[in-house]
Amino acid sequence: MNRLSIILPAKNEAPALAELLPRLRAAQPAAEIIVVDDGSTDDTRRVCAEAGVACLSSPYPMGNGAAIKRGARAARGDVLVFMDGDGQHDPADVARLLARLEEGYDMAVGARDWGSQAGVGRGVANTLYNWLATRMTGHQVVDLTSGFRAVRADKFREFLYLLPNGFSYPTTSTMAFFRSAYPVAYVPIKAAQRVGKSHIKPIKDGVRFLLIIFKIATLYSPLKLFAPASAVFFLSGCANYGWTFLHESRLTNGSTLLWSAAVIVFLIGLVSEQITALMYRRDA
């Protein structure tokens, strides 16, 4: 049987961990449980020690993604489960994720319903991300940003160098698995209300989530983003030329610049596509 490692990134989540860790141990008594303390200033380390759980501590906050990478490197299991340390995820759902891996999937993601979203704004944003990722990959993406997932350790570690140090590691890892033709399954879950205050900042993280939209495209197939943009520039140049030819009987600099932009954007997309292919190349 594959050895299981459960990794929980946590920053000042001591109250939630005090309740979560005993439940997690009861649900998965044979699992290796690792809490990655991302520069906490509360009693996180003491709570872990009392629960008999390994705790990797950082001297200062490095980010949620950085904690995931540290935990993945330290884990000894063949299968890794990532879940939040704030009490949102039910330890009983771990078995449901593992069951999907037994069916042949390489990643199983806990997919939240609308009622589990942290507010209407987050729900709308996640719906947009899911729609875009589905269009990009050609596969149904139910919850792109869920932090509750089970993965095969060897597959996940292939992409550690791609993962950001911030909160968008779920997006990056999901798109990387799709790009590499590793099958991904979604398991419906009900996320509970988090214990304590969220670390997400609406304005700062709102801008970051917008950047995720572009990251989705560039991680999977850059040409699917750059080719339409190039087409917009080209058609705009044609429209501008048609207007000026009819009214002034000449070719203007505006049309030339728009056509030049179309060529440049397309070439950038072409080069990006080649770079992306090299990123996912596996050495024999």
**Which residues are CB-contacts of 94 (< 8 A; sequence separation ≥ 6)?**
6, 24, 27, 28, 81, 83, 150
Positive or negative: CA dihedral 68, 124, 17, 108 = negative
Residues 191 and 34: their CA atoms lie apart, in Å, by 21
Q: Which residues of 82-99 are buried (b: 16+ CB within 10 A; e: fewer)?
A: bbbbbbbbbbebbeebbe
Residue 151 phi/psi, 5-degree rounding, is -140, 155
What does the pLDDT read at residue 171?
87
Burial label for 103, CB within 10 Å (0-12, 13-18, 19+), is exposed
pLDDT, mean of residues 80-101: 94
What does the pLDDT read at residue 172?
87
What does the pLDDT read at residue 231?
96
What does the pLDDT read at residue 284?
40
Neighbours of 168 (CB within 10 A): 23
Residues 164-217 have pLDDT tens digits of 887 778 988 998 898 888 999 999 998 876 555 555 555 565 566 667 667 767
Strands 4-10 and 32-37: parallel
* CATH level 3 topology of 4-220: Spore Coat Polysaccharide Biosynthesis Protein SpsA; Chain A (3.90.550)
Q: What residue segments make up the domains of the chain, in order of their start?
A: 4-220, 223-279
What does the pLDDT read at residue 242?
93
Residues 33-79 have pLDDT tens digits of 999 999 999 999 999 999 999 999 988 999 899 999 999 999 999 99
Neighbours of 148 (CB within 10 A): 24
Residues 250-274 have pLDDT tens digits of 888 999 999 999 999 999 989 988 8
Residue 91 phi/psi, 5-degree rounding, is -55, -25
How many Cα neighbours within 13 Å face the side chain of 42? 15
Residues 142, 178: contact at Cβ < 8 Å? no
Strands 79-82 and 149-152: antiparallel
What does the pLDDT read at residue 198?
52
Residues 265 and 160: their CA atoms lie apart, in Å, by 29
Residues 227, 266: contact at Cβ < 8 Å? yes
